[in-house]
Amino acid sequence: MEKIQPFNTQTLDVKWAHLHRADDKFGAPGHHNITVVVDDQLNEQLNKIAKDAGANKVNGLTEKEGQRLIKVKSTLYTNPPEGMEKKVAFPCVDSDTNSTTEVPMGGDKVRLRLKPFVISRDNSMSFFLNGVQIIEKNSAASAGGSGFEATDGFKQPEAETVPSNDDNDVPF
C-alpha cells in the first residue's frame, strides 16, 4: 500500500482539546486529542483522501448539536523513546510558527497537521494528529479565565497594609 502524506488543514474551530497533558483515563501512556468542527471544505478533503486510499469510512467523525465534528489523536509525545524528555503538553506553534507553551481550548481557531492512515482490520481511515498551529486564542482561559468582561459594581477591596512594628517588643 502506498504511503499517504500528511497534510495541513485550513483554519478550524476548536470544540474541545486535551493537549495540556496526555489523556490517560483509559490507561497509560494515553494520548493527546483535539475535536474540531468539520466544515464543507474539510469534509470533502477527508472523504477524497479516504476514497483515493480505498478506505470505506472515516473514523472519528460525529454529529453533535447540528455540527459535524472530528476527533483526532496522537501518542507522539506520551511515550517518547528512551533519552528523549517526556513532554506533558502537546507541542504547538503560534501563527508565526514559533513554539509556544499555549495550547488551544474550545473557542480557539487552529490549523492541524494530520497524517492519514488506513486501518487494515476494517479498511477504515483514521487521521492522526501530527501538529497544531494556534491561529486565534478566543477561549475564556486566554481572557483571564473567568469568561466575564469588567463592569461597574463590586470590586475586591485592596489589601490593608499592616503598620510595621520596629520595636523588639513582643505583644505577649
Give me the sign of the Cα torsion angle 147, 151, 156, 161. positive
pTM: 0.75
pLDDT band (50, 70, 90) for residue 80: low
Distance CA 98, CA 113 (A): 15
pLDDT value of position 81: 61
Tell me whether the omega of the peptide bond preceding residue 29 falls within 30 degrees of 0, making it cis: yes
Mean predicted confidence (pLDDT) in 67-73 = 96
pLDDT band (50, 70, 90) for residue 143: very low
Q: Are 29 and 22 in contact (CB under 8 A)?
A: yes
Most confident by average pLDDT, 76-85, 125-134, 156-165: 125-134
Helices (H) and strands (E) in the chain, counts: 1, 9
pLDDT at 98 over 60: yes
pLDDT value of position 138: 86
pLDDT value of position 20: 87
Mean pLDDT over each residue of the chain, to the nearest integer: 83
pLDDT at 146 over 70: no
pLDDT band (50, 70, 90) for residue 30: confident
Distance CA 75, CA 111 (A): 19
Cβ density class 29-39: b for 16+ within 10 Å, e for less = ebbbbbbbebb
**More confident site: 110 or 139:** 110
pLDDT band (50, 70, 90) for residue 31: confident
